[in-house]
Amino acid sequence: MEIEIEMIEKNETWELVDRPSDKPIIGVKWVYKTKLNLDGSIQKHKARLVVKGYAQKPGINFNETFGFCGQTRHHQNSHSISSSKGVEVIPEEVYVDQSDGFVVPNYEDKVYKLKKALYGLKQSPRAWYEEINAYLISCGYVRSTSEATLYCKTKEDSGTLIVSIYVDDIVYTGSSGELIAEFKSEMTRRFGLKQCKPVSTPLVASEKLCKDDGSDPVDESEYRQIVGKEVVLIGYCDSDWSGSQDDMRSTSGYAFCFGSGVYSWASIKQHNVALSTAEAEYVSASEATTQAIWLRFVLEDFGELQTDATPLMVDNTFAIAMTRNPVFIKRPSTSTDGVMDLRYCKSEEQVVDIFTKALPKDRFNYLRGLLGVKPVNNLEGNVEM
């Protein structure tokens, strides 16, 4: 607790002032967490001083707020930046009580006026986003026009670095070690992260890998041909029909693959009651198309322009026919000609069937494998359905 108070004061997050008569005073509380080592032993006990943000009143001690979460979390490296570093300046006047046990002697009636954001404030996420956004822009990063939490920086001599913000986590990936090292150095220096330690993700010590594992050899010539081609976004969509016993609504599922892995996925309950399986599949295709259009914009921001229509695999021929029937579409809609290409796939190969309903064990494990998801390992072994 003493360390937390010292850090807050070191960052000049607040100042002790007379208690105002015309401003509400917000309370604070301590939140405790125990951090563990890899072997489960206790590493340290941590205390965080948090503002009771639920006591704030709109228009008085906070105005605009939002929480921002990047919708793409597929990069490989990450580190966290804590809001307690106190780098975000807040425009509103916010006063908080002194914490029990840390009341300044002879100044018991005084309160703290916040100069920078603390955890718990309703405006903290927005203040932090404005701070990190301004900093990245000043460093030459370009913000995506389709996703406000994605940034890209390109250097002709060293490649590209992509940065994604997820609340107070920063996830980044680059085409060269030089760019990644430069980014880590910039962030460490700007936000005082010299004391941060890397998180270990070790391999299983007993696992031994070898080239000859008994499996069939791979056709290397085909692989070389694929690598040389443009990386294409491919989608799958599916739906059950009236699966909900409460309101008879259907459940849609979609997944998009880009390169070697699943790029975006969702399982969504439909808003209306479908009158047939074809209609349920049509609605699912519509939802997937909306996501595909957004993904195409995001990919374009990072130099992966999709010149051809995005294939969308559907296992219902009637649903595909409905999208091509001008009589069925009774009201004007935004044209997706040249953007989406609905194609038929067999039901047994429809990977997103896993997102629409409960499945038998063998079917579930098969589709999970097609999606590239591996079994979760715990102390007792693999978790299977």
Q: Give kind and range of the element (H or E) at residue 222.
A: helix 220-227
- The whole-number pLDDT of residue 240 equals 94
Cα distances (Å, whole numbers) of residue 54 to 5, 13, 61, 86, 123 = 22, 20, 11, 20, 12
pTM attached to this predicted model: 0.52
Percent of the chain's residues with pLDDT above 90: 25
Is residue 344 predicted with pLDDT exceeding 70?
A: yes
Name the pLDDT band for 81 (thresholds 50, 70, 90).
very low
Least confident of 21-25, 29-33, 165-169, 274-278: 165-169
- Going by C-alpha positions, the residue among 350, 356, 385 that lies closest to residue 371 is 350
Instruction: Give the amino acid at 264.
Output: S
User: Helix, strand, or coil here: 286?
Assistant: helix
Most confident stretch, 35-49, 135-149, 193-207, 264-278: 264-278
- The whole-number pLDDT of residue 2 equals 87
Measured distance CA(126)–CA(91) in Å, rounded: 11
Instruction: Give the amino acid at 81.
Output: I
Least confident of 20-34, 266-280, 323-337, 369-383: 323-337
145 φ, ψ (degrees, to nearest 5): -75, -15
Measured distance CA(272)–CA(275) in Å, rounded: 9
CATH architecture of 220-382: 2-Layer Sandwich (3.30)
Q: What is the mean pLDDT of residues 121-150?
A: 84
Q: Are 20 and 114 in contact (CB under 8 A)?
A: no
Q: What is the mean pLDDT of residues 161-170?
A: 83
Is residue 56 predicted with pLDDT exceeding 80?
A: no
- The whole-number pLDDT of residue 268 equals 93
Is residue 327 predicted with pLDDT exceeding 90?
A: no
In the block, residue with structure tokens 């975006």: 264
Of the two residues 212 and 362, the one the predictor is more confident about is 362
- The whole-number pLDDT of residue 183 equals 86
Q: Are 178 and 158 in contact (CB under 8 A)?
A: yes
Is residue 294 predicted with pLDDT exceeding 60?
A: yes
What secondary structure does DSSP assign to 309-376, as a single string?
PEEEEES-HHHHHHHT-TTT--S-----TTTEEEEE--GGG-GGGGGTS---HHHHHHHHHHTTPPPP
Of the two residues 17 and 89, the one the predictor is more confident about is 17
Burial 308-320 (b: 16+ CB within 10 A, else e): ebbbbbbbbeebb
Residue 85 DSSP class: G
Cα distances (Å, whole numbers) of residue 187 to 80, 81, 196, 225 = 10, 9, 11, 39
- The whole-number pLDDT of residue 170 equals 84
Name the pLDDT band for 301 (thresholds 50, 70, 90).
confident
The CATH 3.30.420 domain(s) of the chain lie at 220-382
Sheet containing 111-114, strands listed edge to edge, beginning at the edge strand earlier in sequence? 14-17, 111-114, 95-96, 25-26
Please write the tens of the pLDDT for every residue from 91-122. 678 888 998 889 999 988 899 988 887 877 77
Long-range Cβ pairs for the range 268-274 (8 Å, 24+): 269/244, 270/239, 273/242, 273/247, 273/248, 273/249, 274/239, 274/241, 274/242, 274/249, 274/250
Question: What's the full length of the chain, in residues?
Answer: 385
- The whole-number pLDDT of residue 86 equals 45
Three-point CA angle 185, 189, 192, nearest 5°: 125
Measured distance CA(206)–CA(328) in Å, rounded: 60
Q: Which two tokens stand for residue 211?
A: 């080239």
Q: What is the mean pLDDT of the chain?
A: 79
Q: Are 162 and 138 in contact (CB under 8 A)?
A: no
- The whole-number pLDDT of residue 275 equals 93
